[in-house]
Chain A
Amino acid sequence: MTLIEVKNLKKSYGSIHAVRGISFSVERGEVVGFLGPNGAGKSTTMKLIAGHLRADHGAAIVAGFDISAHPIEAKTHLGYSPEGAPAYGEMTVREFLRFAADLRNLPNPSERVKKTLELCRLNEVAHQTVDTLSKGYRMRLGFAQAVIHDPEVLILDEPTDGLDPNQKFEVRRILKEMASRKAVIVSTHILEEIDELCTRVIVIAHGEVRCDESKEKFLQRGADLNEVFRQLTA
């Protein structure tokens, strides 16, 4: 079942063409790794799918709903964690998740918050304010608000950025636990993560898809992934 469908998306900022006609689709059970150099258009593409930005051209369809024609319905089925995992600094972790649950109008919000705190191993910092969290917890909180409603579509912009190996392992563990029921897009620029995290790879450079194939096929391109990456994104 196709949960994400991206059709010829284009987005420019003034004279800069950030995304120049990207198309792909993601099925349930797939975890797509977005690879590409900084400024390649990965984040912009994710923002377009999540409805933060409006596309100049093309369409993004999330769980059957066009994000610009039916934004509320589409966003109901979508969890999105922006780069850097923004959150309200003065709120505690529990309050922040409760706020997210309330805005999503979830049934049994306190139960959802409790489950999410457990799932993301945030219990020990539940009463701390967001400002006082370490980077690892902060990133996990960004992840937590994105999965609190158990969405079918999950879009995570660099969820492992700046985490230590143990924390990265944790994020991967949680992702794997839920991946079979969802369509997931994860951006990263850590090539070694692909094998652990993804089932499929999309390489983006200069606002275009340079390569879209299964993880196995991608890993066969060469022993030195850095070299493969350089050639694909040149």
Chain B
Amino acid sequence: MSSESSPSTPSAPSAVWAIFNREFAGYFRTPLAYVFLAVFNAFAISLAFFVGNIYEAGVANLDRFFLYHPWLWAFLAPAAGARLWAEERRQGTIELLLTWPISVWQVAVGKFLAAWLFLATALFITLPIAFTIGYLGDPDVGVIVSGYLGSLLCAGACLGIASIASALTRNQVIAFVTGFLACFLLVLIGYGVFDEFIGGLFSRNIIEEVRRLGLWRNLEPFTLGLVDLRPVAYFLTLSFGGLGLSTIIIERR
């Protein structure tokens, strides 16, 4: 073992790919992943049927299914994202990542994409509900596709927030709870529960602007088949903003 293998500087994509692979496989190494997938599907389906009455409504679309997705992602994206950095800190492996010849953003991007794909897996397991609707009625396939796209973007936004929470602590429970509270706030804003409170302080226009920051407000157009620039920008800003901020937090250790 001498200089026959003089180390080369790693290329950016290969490092991101290696991290992504390890992370994604890591989800399925623990029973937690399967519990997560089961819980997501159980809630997604039963909320649509028993709370949303998707069947009794007699309309062949999925907006009563997607209606509850902000709630689900607000809870489950932080659950899946809590381990992103907190686990590295707890295990001490963050010390390896920070002393191997890779940059923090490569690690952050690899981790984020793996977690996002994991959430996407949970979402795609719900596809039978789309087929069911297709069997029962004659839904607009484009609307269903845009609904799934919106839900996926919404998941990424919640994950962005969750990764900030995870970068701040070594404790996964704290990472989960803070991430959940932040996402939950974004769900509530859209429903106007703070209207009375902020109504005394601000004008109607400002309240309306604040409400536009809610998760459902931005997901709703997708469930109607509209892929607008504004909601796409909103979700991607939260996703990549969270990703960027968590990278900075880890870098400034």
Measured CB to CB, the residues of A under 8 A from B are 47, 50-54, 71-73, 75-78, 80, 82, 84, 86-91, 99-100, 102-108, 112, 115, 119, 145, 149-151, 178, 181
Among A52, A91, A112, the residue within 8 A (CB) of B22 is A91
Proximity string of chain B (97-137) to chain A, C-beta cutoff 8 Å, 1 when within and 0 when not: 01111110000000000000000000000000000000000
* Contact-residue bracket for chain B: 20 to 34
Cα–Cα, bound, A78→B114 (Å)? 28
Chain B residue with the shortest CB-CB distance to A83: B92
A84 to chain B, nearest CB (A): 6
Instruction: Report A217 CB to chain B, min CB distance, Å.
Output: 31
A75 touches B91 (CB 8 A): no
In the assembled complex, how far is the CB of residue B104 from the closest CB belonging to chain A, in whole angstroms?
10
Interface digits, B16-36 against A, CB 8 Å rule (1 contact, 0 not)? 001100100010011000000
State in angstroms the CA–CA spacing of A50 and B29 once bound together: 30
Residues in B neighbouring A52, C-beta threshold 8 A: 95, 98-99
Nearest CB in chain B to that of A51: its residue: B99
Residue B53 at the chain A interface, CB threshold 8 Å: no
Q: How far is the CB of A140 from chain B (nearest CB, A)?
A: 15
For the residues of B in contact with A, the DSSP-based class is: loop
Q: Is B199 an interface residue (CB 8 A)?
A: no
Once the chains bind, are A103 and B10 in contact (CB under 8 Å)? Answer: yes
Dominant SS at the A interface? loop
Q: Decide if A105 touches B14 in the complex (CB within 8 Å).
A: yes
Partner of A80, one of B9, B30, B91, B99: B99
Q: How far apart are the CA atoms of A223 and B22 in the complex, in Å? A: 51
Known: A72-B101, A112-B5. A102 touches B95 (CB 8 A): no
**B15 pairs with A108, CB closer than 8 A:** no
Q: Is B201 an interface residue (CB 8 A)?
A: no
Pick the 6 closest A-B CB pairs, nearest first.
Answer: A86-B92, A105-B10, A75-B101, A102-B18, A90-B29, A82-B95
The residue on B at minimum CB distance from A49 is B99
Which residue from chain B places its CB closest to the CB of A115 in the assembled complex? B1
B2 at the interface (CB under 8 A from A): yes
Q: Which of A50, A105, A112, A149 contacts B99 (CB 8 A)?
A: A50
Does B101 lie within 8 Å of A104, measured CB to CB?
Answer: yes
Name the residue on A nearest B18 (C-beta): A102
Some 5 contacts from A to B, beta carbons below 8 A apart, are A73-B9, A86-B95, A102-B15, A103-B18, A104-B101
